[in-house]
Chain A
């Protein structure tokens, strides 16, 4: 995207209507309610409105439970699985990991715009349970590392934008300012026309990738989900990684308990071993250099979108100029914008960090 245009790639497929594993959008407030019911039906005791303040350790440093903010608030446990989210204060307070680094976490702001279902279906050309996800990058992030997004729900559209926190700090731009500009971009505005914004939210997203993964297990504890930085920023995946790490953690503990093994650090290493075999670790490892690449190559978010957009405009505009002249003009704009060695260097660096 540049300030007035967008160049896009679309994919839609009838195959996505088949009952096969795929991604979908979900309203967490409703999903969590349903899911917690399932969990309780399975016999789990679920405590809400209780904040865990700290991990409880024995004299050898083994974690043996948690301290909560309620009266008499100590609960003992064989193992504590920490799924405390991106800003994991318990883990930080308990010295399991350091504070979040501003350059490895993104701040995203989001609004929910409500529209009747029929309007969304006709506007986005949808039927049944189909939905649309739009990911956008370019000048909308004012030169910062980040992306905008828009996705449809049945009766609402979620629209938001997020950038790396350290970029916000350097740039001085406000997240809500970015979101306003994004919503008013000529290629987004008509999609939101006549809608009513009824909810808004902000969230930190761990985007440091493989290299920022903290220690994942120790004597009597395991970390899962966002707290373990399990987000694939390139493919915009996070919930599935969180769910998978949670499942593997649960399975590991059950496996150890069945074998009557102690839940020590050495034994809980099994969690990491199992995790390494899943897409979670494999994907994060594959993209381990991407965060660094994106952070040190700001051209990706400013110059290139502008060049590509200008090129598309030159190419598609019918104005009497011959095609060879147009091709030359496009090539010239790229070389002027980012010199030949620069272009080759960027391509090379991207290819290397992709592997």
Chain B
């Protein structure tokens, strides 16, 4: 069984700073990581590969340095890595990204066999759109299962899959036919630590690197900035709150005394609150 996992290398959002004067995001020197949500997808893919045999191919689109996150995926235990990189792809929004990835996936099918499942994370931590996965599914005409919390049953031979999907207000149990695109929820598994063999293999591996032409993508008007109708009009940092936080001092450290002091302070500042609460508790 061939499974493809689409991953993205993203800036480590925990380490991004906003320039205090210009309010722009300072990308320089921010370390990059594999999009954390994608790792749940990768682990899920590898588990089903381990169970039924086959291969996991990881695919990413990005600048040449995105190779790092692919190599990392190989260290975790993926079998093959494909990097889609071309300056024509620069500035892609989700529409252009899903176009390019769909093209690369078609090429992957030609080169390495038809994938029965394509995984992505539920979204990326830098864009947070959750649009690329469904976009790929639409372009390739695949059934799509988004926000999947658990794959209940998979029958590759019969071409059948059942999953639990977390939706607003409950869990949906969905069955559909393979091939399928799945966006995986976070927290559903834990990425494994690859074996020493995996680590060596990853360090020595040759990453399959394709530009647009290699991947058979010919319509460059649908790629990169030209193929991206999304326009970011303005990026700004929220203004700092005018009201400063303040410290409440107390010497008595018992729980009751602390609660009492804090409540007193709050009531002092929100004069109507105490009366409201009293009325509320009175019934």
Query: Residues of A at under 8 Å CB distance from B?
Result: 45-47, 49-50, 68, 70-75
Stretch at the interface among B91-99, B144-152, B190-198: B190-198
Q: Is the CB of B199 within 8 A of A70?
A: yes
- Given contacts A45-B203, A47-B203, A71-B195, could you give 6 more A-B pairs where the C-beta distance is less than 8 Å? A45-B204, A70-B195, A70-B199, A71-B196, A72-B197, A73-B196
Q: Which residue of B lies closest to A27 (CB)?
A: B29
Q: Is the CB of B203 within 8 A of A74?
A: no
Provide the residues of chain A in CB contact with B194, threshold 8 Å: 70-71
A81 CB to nearest chain B CB (Å): 18
Q: Is the CB of A46 within 8 A of B196?
A: no
Query: Residues of B at under 8 Å CB distance from A?
Result: 75, 193-200, 203-204
Complex formed: what's the CA distance from A46 to B72 in Å? Answer: 12
B7 CB to nearest chain A CB (Å): 18
Complex formed: what's the CA distance from A122 to B26 in Å? Answer: 25
Complex formed: what's the CA distance from A71 to B204 in Å? Answer: 18
Complex formed: what's the CA distance from A329 to B203 in Å? Answer: 70
Instruction: List 14 A–B pairs whose Cβ atoms lie within 8 Å, in order of A's numbering.
Output: A45-B204, A49-B75, A50-B196, A50-B199, A70-B193, A70-B194, A70-B195, A70-B196, A70-B198, A71-B193, A71-B194, A72-B195, A73-B196, A74-B196
Q: Which residue of A lies closest to B75 (CB)?
A: A49
A30 CB to nearest chain B CB (Å): 8
Provide the residues of chain A in CB contact with B193, threshold 8 Å: 70-71
Which 4 A-B residue pairings sit nearest by Cβ, starting from the closest?
A71-B195, A70-B196, A73-B196, A45-B203
Complex formed: what's the CA distance from A72 to B200 in Å? Answer: 11
Complex formed: what's the CA distance from A177 to B248 in Å? Answer: 27
Complex formed: what's the CA distance from A68 to B195 in Å? Answer: 10
A74 CB to nearest chain B CB (Å): 7
B225 CB to nearest chain A CB (Å): 29
Q: Which residue of B lies closest to A67 (CB)?
A: B196
Q: How many A-B residue pairs have CB under 8 A?
A: 30
Provide the residues of chain B in CB contact with A71, threshold 8 Å: 193-196
Q: Is the CB of A73 within 8 A of B195?
A: yes
Complex formed: what's the CA distance from A75 to B204 in Å? Answer: 15
Provide the residues of chain A in CB contact with B200, threshold 8 Å: 45, 47, 75
B265 CB to nearest chain A CB (Å): 30
A29 CB to nearest chain B CB (Å): 9
Q: Which residue of B lies closest to A73 (CB)?
A: B196
Complex formed: what's the CA distance from A71 to B199 in Å? Answer: 10
B71 CB to nearest chain A CB (Å): 10
Complex formed: what's the CA distance from A73 to B193 in Å? Answer: 12
B166 CB to nearest chain A CB (Å): 31
Q: Which residue of B lies closest to A72 (CB)?
A: B195
Q: Is the CB of A72 within 8 A of B203?
A: no
Name which of B193, B196, B203, B204 has the most chain A CB atoms within 10 A of its CB: B196
B42 CB to nearest chain A CB (Å): 16
Complex formed: what's the CA distance from A73 to B194 in Å? Answer: 10
Complex formed: what's the CA distance from A74 to B196 in Å? Answer: 7
Complex formed: what's the CA distance from A70 to B193 in Å? Answer: 7
Provide the residues of chain B in CB contact with A72, threshold 8 Å: 195-197
Complex formed: what's the CA distance from A314 to B256 in Å? Answer: 60
Q: Which residue of A lies closest to B199 (CB)?
A: A47
Provide the residues of chain A in CB contact with B199, threshold 8 Å: 47, 49-50, 70
Q: Is the CB of A46 within 8 A of B75?
A: no
A112 CB to nearest chain B CB (Å): 13
Complex formed: what's the CA distance from A75 to B203 in Å? Answer: 14
Name which of B75, B193, B198, B199 has the most chain A CB atoms within 10 A of its CB: B199
Q: Which residue of B lies closest to A46 (CB)?
A: B203
Q: Which residue of B lies closest to A68 (CB)?
A: B196
Complex formed: what's the CA distance from A55 to B183 in Å? Answer: 43
Provide the residues of chain A in CB contact with B197, threshold 8 Å: 72
Q: Which residue of B lies closest to A74 (CB)?
A: B196
Q: Which residue of B lies closest to A44 (CB)?
A: B203
Complex formed: what's the CA distance from A80 to B198 in Å? Answer: 21
Provide the residues of chain A in CB contact with B195, threshold 8 Å: 70-73
Provide the residues of chain B in CB contact with A73, threshold 8 Å: 195-196
Provide the residues of chain B in CB contact with A47, threshold 8 Å: 199-200, 203
Complex formed: what's the CA distance from A261 to B204 in Å? Answer: 28
Complex formed: what's the CA distance from A140 to B126 in Å? Answer: 46
Complex formed: what's the CA distance from A47 to B195 in Å? Answer: 12
A221 CB to nearest chain B CB (Å): 20
A119 CB to nearest chain B CB (Å): 14
Complex formed: what's the CA distance from A72 to B199 in Å? Answer: 11
B46 CB to nearest chain A CB (Å): 14
Complex formed: what's the CA distance from A108 to B233 in Å? Answer: 48
Provide the residues of chain B in CB contact with A46, threshold 8 Å: 203
Q: Which residue of A lies closest to B31 (CB)?
A: A29
B128 CB to nearest chain A CB (Å): 26
Complex formed: what's the CA distance from A70 to B75 in Å? Answer: 11
A68 CB to nearest chain B CB (Å): 6
A14 CB to nearest chain B CB (Å): 31
